[in-house]
Structure 1
Amino acid sequence: MAKSYRSRINRQPSQFRIKFIPSITVILGSMVTAMPLITDYPVLPPFGLLILLSWRLIRPGYWPVWAGFPLGMVDDMFSGQPFGSAAFLWSLVFIALETLDRRGVGRDYWQDWLIASLSIIFVLIGGMLIIDFQSNLLRLEILVPQILLSILLYPFVTRFIGAIDNWRLAR
Structure 2
Amino acid sequence: MIPEGPRLGGDPSAFRLKGTPIVTIMIGSMLPILPIIAQTPILPPLGLLLLLSWRLLRPELLPAWIALPLGLFDDILSGQPLGSAMCLWTLTMIGIDMAERRLIWRDYWQDWLIAAIAVIFCLTGGLWFARLTGGGGSLPLVAPQIIWSILLYPFVARQCAWLDRWRIMA
| Identity %, equivalent residues | 47
Whose Rg is larger?
1
- 1:115 maps to 2:114: yes
Q: Distance in 1 between matches of 2:120 and 2:160?
A: 21
Aligned ranges for residues 1-171 of structure 1 at < 5 Å? 8=7, 10-133=9-132, 139-171=138-170
Distance apart, 1:82 and its partner CA: 0.5
Q: Distance in 2 between matches of 1:43 and 1:137?
A: 16
Q: Distance in 1 between matches of 2:138 and 2:88?
A: 20
Over 3 Å counting, the alpha-carbon distance change for 1:137 and 1:110 in structure 2 is farther
Write the letter of the residue equivalent to 1:147: I
TM-score, reference length from structure 1: 0.90
Write the letter of the residue equivalent to 1:17: R
Structure 1 vs Structure 2 CA RMSD? 2.3
Write the letter of the residue equivalent to 2:138: R
Over 3 Å counting, the alpha-carbon distance change for 1:142 and 1:7 in structure 2 is closer
Distance apart, 1:63 and its partner CA: 1.3
Task: Give unpaired runs (5+ residues) of structure 2.
Answer: none
Task: Give unpaired runs (5+ residues) of structure 1.
Answer: none
Whether the 8 Å contact between 2:49 and 2:156 is mirrored in structure 1 is yes
Distance apart, 1:11 and its partner CA: 1.1
Distance apart, 1:76 and its partner CA: 0.5
Over 3 Å counting, the alpha-carbon distance change for 1:56 and 1:83 in structure 2 is same
Whether the 8 Å contact between 1:51 and 1:157 is mirrored in structure 2 is yes
Whether the 8 Å contact between 1:51 and 1:158 is mirrored in structure 2 is yes
**How big is each residue's C-alpha offset from its partner over 1:30-89, in whole Å with a ceiling of 9 and x where there is no partner?**
001211222111000000000000000000121111111111001001111011100000
Write the letter of the residue equivalent to 1:67: I
**How big is each residue's C-alpha offset from its partner over 1:82-119, in whole Å with a ceiling of 9 and x where there is no partner?**
11100000000000011112235110000000000010
Q: Distance in 2 between matches of 1:145 and 1:129?
A: 17
Distance apart, 1:7 and its partner CA: 9.6
SS in 1 for 2:39: coil
Q: Distance in 2 between matches of 1:137 and 1:100?
A: 33
Between the two proteins, the alignment pairs up a number of residues equal to 168
SS in 2 for 1:40: coil
Over 3 Å counting, the alpha-carbon distance change for 1:111 and 1:104 in structure 2 is closer
